[in-house]
């Protein structure tokens, strides 16, 4: 994983050799092990390339990479399949003689990526993100000097006239820098992903161009590439087959018994369903394997996988709530991570004004009387007086289910060292670090939901917390550079409550359309934000449920084999994943209903509980009002009284 950036200027008076300090700082946090800059100057344009590397596999290679022809390559990605790892290096791109060669190369890569490639012979700048947009890439166009910048992450602060936006995961873009410099106009040629539904190909491609063009300044235009080339779509189209009979009849053999783990076991007595579930486990297991083995292992590991005497450090962590997604990911990771290597289970909880006491694993905790909110800082000695001390302050739903999930994992493999990391966040710490470190990572997203999830993921992936055992309580800092997350499961398997609403209103056909829409917007709704947030700790987020083969397999199944929303909550949504959990030996977690992270961790209760998820953040509204005020004041719109204030 890397922080990559390219700043392009067409105005000689605005040329500069370095990036702005705050932008450089944020890039270095993503890639702390190697930093390098490269300057390219021509008669009418200048490019500053900046690369910052997090070393995860192979030999550490500094970026940007430049070959003897003057081509420059910046790569932030992982090749898990499709081509040999070394083939994505600069030499291979340099050997691409035509646009179609570049399209063929990136069509074959399987894994998350974003890249920037300068082709010297044609003065072309190529850039883009993978099909799902797993890795962040932002762009910023400056209308004043007609410059622009591409970067994995934005600066600490920016105003109305200096907005950054996500590069749409619509395909690969190319800019002719010579032509742009002469015309004072940036023309983005789009090489889109091949349209999945052939019958609506023209409409899809037109919609893609319209979406990309939105909110761009007037000196920037987006057009289809002149050669009419496209990238090969890496996934199969969604199976839109509708059931011939009502969905309730597909599970009629289990509808007469009480819903429990045995309910799922009865469902697995159907030979076809068991075969489907076993295939799903196989393809997901391979996806997890590639994501936990493609990294540098601890040097203390000996060939038989047992650590020598000394501290055992985890290389892989899981964002862990104890819910069905993280439980299955952790169980499959256990299959492939060397036995002597611990696995960090990162469990985040936010202290609330209301003390909660969980009544059961499957029910929401009941609210108790308000109590004075204690400080997040407590001594090891104080906590050690009772292992329940942290629980009293942070007994949120995800902490309760997380501890229950830990016991299940210990039963599945008691030989594994499972590090359950209790990450406790006070209101004071949240407010301070949100302001100084997190808010700019969430942007350009700006809703209450984005802020809540962004903050929860940032604190969880930081991995700073406590290990609480029967013997002791000690502070802990996760050393894992790879963080596995369950993103993609809810989107594909009807895990959200809105899916039930859609199903009740529009039936299975409407649910299929909703799932198609979910995958189509996941790059802008989730992945860019989470990549920036996790990457800020010098760690890489990896998403097994968004492996191309996993998505293609799930897309091949009819909707009723993935989810049956005629069944109750905790059974019907993500049905195939629950059946897989039973097959893997999991117990109570197979029946846990969906808890959104902002509610399970209780961050949604930290401040203004009356806010809606879609509302603009309070801090963002205030900040934008201040920026807008100064911006307008400079244009002499506001009164003298306002200016003096």
End position of a domain, from candidates 224, 255, 272? 224
Please name which of 313, 371, 132 lies closest in space to residue 231, comparing C-alpha atoms: 132
d(CA 301, CA 614): 48
Count the residues in the chain: 645
Tally the C-alpha atoms within 13 A of residue 350's C-alpha that lie toward its C-beta: 26
611: confidence class by pLDDT, cuts 50, 70, 90: low
Give CA separation, 608 vs 219, 439, 605, 615, 619, in Å.
41, 17, 7, 12, 12
Q: pLDDT, tens digit, for every residue of 148-169?
A: 999 999 998 755 445 899 999 9
Q: Is a pLDDT exceeding 80 seen at residue 381?
A: no
* Residue 617 appears among annotated catalytic residues: no
Looking at the structure, tell me whether residues 552 and 624 fall in a common domain: no
Considering only CA atoms, give the Rg of the chain.
25
Looking at the structure, tell me whether residues 209 and 329 fall in a common domain: no
End position of a domain, from candidates 161, 193, 224? 224
d(CA 277, CA 484): 22
Give CA separation, 464 vs 136, 177, 264, in Å.
24, 45, 37
d(CA 296, CA 154): 29
More confident residue, 367 or 16: 16
Please name which of 355, 129, 382 lies closest in space to residue 231, comparing C-alpha atoms: 129
Quick one: pLDDT at residue 159? 56
d(CA 113, CA 132): 9
Does the residue 493 lie in any domain?
Answer: yes
Given phi > 0 = left and psi -120 to 50 = alpha, else beta, which region is 562?
alpha
Q: How many helices (H) and strands (E) are present in the chain, helices listed first?
A: 22, 22
Instruction: Work out the average pLDDT over 383-390.
Output: 40
Looking at the structure, tell me whether residues 258 and 197 fall in a common domain: no
Does the residue 610 lie in any domain?
Answer: no
Q: Max CA-CA distance within the chain? A: 78
Q: How many domains does the chain have?
A: 3
Looking at the structure, tell me whether residues 108 and 215 fall in a common domain: yes
Please name which of 596, 597, 582 lies closest in space to residue 327, comparing C-alpha atoms: 582
Q: pLDDT, tens digit, for every residue of 424-467?
A: 999 999 999 999 999 999 999 888 899 999 999 999 999 999 99
3-state SS assignment for residue 105? helix
Looking at the structure, tell me whether residues 307 and 455 fall in a common domain: yes
Q: pLDDT, tens digit, for every residue of 460-517?
A: 999 999 998 878 889 999 999 999 999 999 999 999 999 999 999 999 999 999 999 9
Looking at the structure, tell me whether residues 207 and 269 fall in a common domain: no
Asked if omega into 413 is within 30° of 0 (cis), the reply is no
Pure H helices in 434-527: 439-442, 448-462, 489-492, 497-522
Does the residue 237 lie in any domain?
Answer: no
- What would the two tokens of residue 611 be? 């806010």
Looking at the structure, tell me whether residues 172 and 321 fall in a common domain: no
In our burial notation (b when 16+ CB lie closer than 10 A, e otherwise), range 462-487 reads bbbbbebeeeebeebebbbbbbbbbb
d(CA 326, CA 489): 10
Quick one: pLDDT at residue 89? 57
**Contact status, residue 451 vs residue 623, Cβ threshold 8 Å:** no
d(CA 481, CA 127): 26
Quick one: pLDDT at residue 157? 74
Quick one: pLDDT at residue 413? 97
Helical (H) or strand (E) element with 382: helix 380-384
Q: Is a pLDDT exceeding 50 seen at residue 633?
A: no
Q: Is a pLDDT exceeding 50 seen at residue 532?
A: yes
- What SS3 string covers 268-328? CCCHHHHHHHHHHHHHHHHHHHHHHHCCCCCCCECCCCCECCCCCCCCEEEECCCCHHHHH
- Sorted by sequence, the CB contacts under 8 Å of residue 388 that are 6+ apart come out as none
Looking at the structure, tell me whether residues 185 and 328 fall in a common domain: no
Count CB atoms within 10 A of the CB of residue 202. 9
Does the residue 235 lie in any domain?
Answer: no
d(CA 335, CA 316): 13
Q: Is a pLDDT exceeding 70 seen at residue 575?
A: yes
3-state SS assignment for residue 255? coil
The DSSP output letter for 81 is: B
To the nearest whole percent, how much of the chain has pLDDT over 70? 79
Does the residue 606 lie in any domain?
Answer: no
The lowest-confidence range among 5-14, 198-207, 359-368, 565-574 is: 359-368
Active site residue: 2, 6, 47, 617, which one? 2
Asked if omega into 444 is within 30° of 0 (cis), the reply is yes
The lowest-confidence range among 14-28, 86-100, 145-159, 484-498 is: 86-100
To the nearest whole percent, how much of the chain has pLDDT over 90? 61
d(CA 300, CA 310): 9
Q: pLDDT, tens digit, for every residue of 323-354?
A: 999 999 999 999 999 999 999 999 999 986 65
Q: pLDDT, tens digit, for every residue of 32-71?
A: 999 999 999 988 999 999 999 999 887 888 999 999 999 9
- What would the two tokens of residue 204 be? 């899809």
Does the residue 239 lie in any domain?
Answer: no
Instruction: Work out the average pLDDT over 102-124.
Output: 94
Tokens 């100084």 identify what position? 436
d(CA 597, CA 587): 21
Does the residue 238 lie in any domain?
Answer: no
Give CA separation, 25 vs 34, 154, 169, 382, 621, in Å.
13, 10, 25, 37, 25
Quick one: pLDDT at residue 92? 66
Count CB atoms within 10 A of the CB of residue 412. 17
Q: Is a pLDDT exceeding 60 seen at residue 284?
A: yes
Q: Which domain holds residue 307?
A: 247-600
Overall pTM surpassing 0.75 (yes/no) = yes
- Sorted by sequence, the CB contacts under 8 Å of residue 49 that are 6+ apart come out as 5, 6, 37, 38, 39, 40, 64, 72, 74, 116, 118
- 81 phi and psi angles, rounded to 5 deg: -170, 175
Distance of CA 444 to the CA centre of its chain: 15
Quick one: pLDDT at residue 252? 54
Looking at the structure, tell me whether residues 262 and 209 fall in a common domain: no
**Contact status, residue 329 vs residue 409, Cβ threshold 8 Å:** no
The lowest-confidence range among 4-8, 89-93, 471-475 is: 89-93
Looking at the structure, tell me whether residues 631 and 596 fall in a common domain: no
The chain-wide mean pLDDT, for the chain, equals: 83
Looking at the structure, tell me whether residues 516 and 623 fall in a common domain: no
Does the residue 240 lie in any domain?
Answer: no
Look up the CATH number of the domain holding residue 369: 3.40.50.620
Look up the CATH number of the domain holding residue 106: 3.60.20.10
More confident residue, 306 or 316: 316
As a whole number of Å, the end-to-end CA separation of the chain is 46
Looking at the structure, tell me whether residues 267 and 140 fall in a common domain: no
Q: Is a pLDDT exceeding 90 seen at residue 130?
A: yes
d(CA 90, CA 67): 7
Quick one: pLDDT at residue 158? 58
């Amino acid at each position: 994983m890397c922080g990559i950036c390219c700043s392009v200027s067409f105005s000689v008076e605005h040329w500069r050799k370095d990036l702005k300090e705050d932008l450089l700082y944020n890039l270095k946090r993503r890639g702390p092990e190697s930093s390098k800059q490269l300057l390219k100057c021509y008669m009418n344009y200048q490019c500053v390339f900046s690369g910052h590397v997090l070393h995860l596999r192979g030999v550490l290679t500094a970026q940007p990479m430049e070959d003897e022809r003057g081509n420059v390559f910046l790569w932030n990605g992982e090749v898990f399949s499709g081509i040999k790892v070394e083939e994505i290096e600069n030499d291979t791109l340099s050997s691409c003689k035509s646009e179609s060669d570049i399209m063929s190369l990136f069509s074959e890569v399987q894994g998350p990526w974003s890249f920037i490639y300068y082709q010297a012979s044609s003065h072309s700048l190529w850039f883009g993100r993978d099909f799902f947009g797993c890795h962040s890439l932002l762009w910023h166009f400056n209308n004043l000097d007609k410059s622009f910048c591409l970067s994995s992450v934005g600066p600490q602060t920016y105003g109305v006239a200096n907005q950054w936006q996500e590069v749409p995961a619509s395909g690969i873009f190319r800019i002719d820098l010579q032509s742009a410099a002469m015309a004072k106009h940036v023309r983005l040629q789009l090489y889109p992903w091949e349209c999945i539904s052939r019958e609506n190909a023209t409409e899809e491609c037109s919609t893609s161009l319209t979406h990309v063009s939105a909110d761009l300044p007037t000196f920037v235009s987006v057009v289809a590439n002149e050669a009419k080339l496209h990238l090969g779509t890496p996934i199969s189209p969604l199976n839109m087959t509708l059931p011939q009979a009502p969905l309730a009849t597909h599970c009629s053999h289990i509808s007469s018994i009480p819903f429990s783990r045995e309910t799922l076991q009865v469902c697995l007595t159907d030979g076809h369903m068991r075969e489907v579930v076993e295939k799903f486990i196989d393809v997901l297991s391979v996806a997890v394997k590639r994501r936990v083995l493609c990294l540098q292992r601890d040097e203390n590991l000996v060939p038989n996988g047992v650590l020598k005497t000394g501290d055992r450090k985890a290389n892989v962590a899981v964002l862990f709530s104890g819910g069905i997604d993280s439980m299955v990911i952790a169980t499959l990771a256990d299959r492939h991570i060397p036995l002597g290597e611990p696995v960090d289970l990162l469990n985040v909880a936010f202290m609330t004004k209301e003390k909660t006491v969980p009544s059961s694993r499957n029910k929401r905790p009941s609210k108790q009387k308000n109590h004075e909110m204690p400080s997040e800082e407590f001594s090891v000695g104080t906590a050690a007086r009772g292992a329940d001390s942290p629980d009293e302050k942070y007994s949120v739903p995800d902490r309760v289910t997380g501890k229950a999930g830990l016991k299940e994992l210990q039963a599945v493999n008691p030989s594994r060292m499972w590090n359950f990391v209790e990450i406790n966040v006070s209101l004071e710490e949240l407010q301070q670090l949100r302001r100084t470190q997190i808010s700019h990572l969430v942007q350009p997203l700006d809703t209450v939901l984005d802020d809540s999830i962004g903050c929860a993921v940032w604190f969880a992936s930081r991995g700073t917390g406590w290990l609480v055992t029967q013997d002791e309580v000690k502070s802990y800092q996760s050393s894992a550079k790879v963080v596995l997350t369950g993103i993609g499961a809810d989107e594909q398997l009807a895990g959200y409550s809105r899916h039930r609403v859609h199903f009740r209103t529009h039936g299975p056909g409407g649910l299929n359309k909703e799932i198609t829409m979910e995958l189509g917007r996941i790059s802008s709704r989730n992945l860019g934000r989470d990549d920036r947030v996790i990457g800020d700790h010098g760690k890489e987020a990896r998403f097994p449920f968004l492996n191309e083969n996993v998505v293609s397999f799930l897309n091949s199944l009819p909707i009723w084999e993935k989810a049956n929303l005629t069944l109750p909550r905790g059974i019907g949504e993500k049905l195939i994943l629950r059946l897989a959990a039973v097959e893997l030996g999991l117990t109570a977690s197979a029946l846990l209903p969906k808890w959104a992270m902002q509610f399970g961790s209780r961050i949604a209760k930290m401040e203004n509980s009356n806010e809606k998820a879609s509302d603009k953040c309070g801090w963002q509204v205030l900040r934008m009002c201040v920026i807008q005020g100064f911006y307008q004041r400079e244009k002499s719109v506001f009164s003298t009284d306002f200016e003096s204030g």
